[in-house]
């Protein structure tokens, strides 16, 4: 069933709201970055090129089909549209966030990968790869980033920024915040010495403990026996 006009407008509002939240958190600045959500029915709502993201309105979110053709909106979509569409085609993504966030971008200038230094990174897939540099909006950049995302929900983009995806827009925003936190953690630790990296056994132990304890979910207090 085709998406209704009301549903598409709701999705456009949600993308604009996500842009404002990410700006407030310091991950977006000016027109640098883009956000999209899969609306179903082979369509994506994505920020328009030139939109000031901290002041984004639903009118600055364009709806395109999987071929990149505009189906709703008055502005051209972001120049990184091919990257967004590629992620939707190749991965099970419900939303995509691309930022030029300062800490992630700083690491993209010097690292080939962000090692797993904290178990929270496991939510993104452990070690975060850095995709080789290519001009923004180019097919080469999309190809590099798609490869870097293999088995991950986040990647850094050399001398450029970061990209994450999630099953929902809320989760994609959460992943963007988590990635920036992990990058900041590494930066601060590296200023003091060489950060310790979690090895595969340590990562596996964390995963096992999380599954056993239901980590990340709330649990009612167990009634004490008399």
Helices (H), the chain: 5-24, 81-90, 102-108, 139-148, 169-190, 200-213
Cβ–Cβ contacts within 10 Å for residue 159, how many?
13
pLDDT at res. 2 = 59
**Cα–Cα distance for residue pair 46/179, rounded to 1 Å:** 21
**Cα–Cα distance for residue pair 78/163, rounded to 1 Å:** 14
Percentage of the chain modeled with pLDDT above 90: 86
pLDDT digits 0-9 by tens, 118-154: 999 999 999 999 999 999 999 999 999 999 999 999 9
- Higher per-residue pLDDT: 214 or 74: 74
Based on its alpha-carbon atoms, the radius of gyration of the chain, rounded to whole angstroms, reads: 19
Whether the full predicted model's pTM is greater than 0.85, yes or no, is yes
Residue with tokens 């008055």: 74
Nearest to 36 by CA among 71, 90, 80, 89: 80
Cβ–Cβ contacts within 10 Å for residue 86, how many?
20
pLDDT digits 0-9 by tens, 54-74: 999 999 999 999 999 999 989
All structural domains of the chain: 5-213 (3.40.225.10)
Q: Which two tokens stand for residue 29?
A: 């600045």
pLDDT at res. 222 = 67
Q: Which helix (H) or strand (E) segment is 38 a member of?
A: strand 34-40
pLDDT at res. 1 = 45
The secondary structure of residue 133, as a DSSP letter, is: P
- Which bin fits 216, alpha (ψ -120 to 50), beta or left (φ > 0)? left
Least confident of 13-17, 50-54, 126-130, 219-223: 219-223
pLDDT(216) > 80: no
Least confident of 7-16, 36-45, 77-86, 206-215: 206-215
pLDDT at res. 213 = 77
Catalogue the active-site residues. 80
Q: List strands edge to edge, sheet with 113-114.
A: 70-72, 61-65, 43-47, 34-40, 95-99, 161-166, 154-157, 128-131, 113-114
Q: Are 96 and 163 in contact (CB under 8 A)?
A: yes
């Amino acid at each position: 069933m085709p998406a209704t006009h009301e549903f598409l407008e709701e999705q456009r509002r949600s993308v604009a709201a996500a842009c404002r939240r990410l700006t407030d958190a310091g991950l977006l600045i000016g027109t640098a970055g883009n956000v999209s959500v899969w609306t179903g029915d082979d369509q994506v709502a994505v920020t328009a090129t030139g939109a000031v993201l901290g002041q984004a309105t639903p009118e600055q979110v364009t709806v395109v089909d999987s071929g990149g053709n505009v189906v709703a909106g008055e502005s051209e979509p972001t120049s990184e549209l091919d990257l967004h569409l590629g992620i939707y085609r190749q991965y099970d993504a419900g939303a995509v966030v691309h930022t030029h966030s300062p800490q992630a971008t700083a690491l993209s200038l010097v690292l080939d990968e962000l090692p797993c230094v904290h178990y929270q990174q496991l939510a993104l897939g452990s070690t975060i790869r850095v995709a080789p540099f290519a001009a923004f909006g180019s097919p080469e950049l999309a190809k590099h980033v798609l490869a870097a995302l293999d088995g991950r929900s986040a990647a850094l983009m050399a001398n450029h920024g970061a990209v994450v995806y999630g099953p929902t827009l809320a989760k994609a925003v959460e992943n963007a915040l988590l990635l920036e936190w992990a990058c900041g953690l590494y930066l601060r630790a590296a200023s003091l010495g060489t950060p310790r990296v979690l090895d595969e056994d340590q990562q596996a132990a964390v995963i096992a403990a999380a599954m056993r304890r239901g980590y990340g979910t709330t649990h009612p207090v167990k009634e004490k026996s008399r």
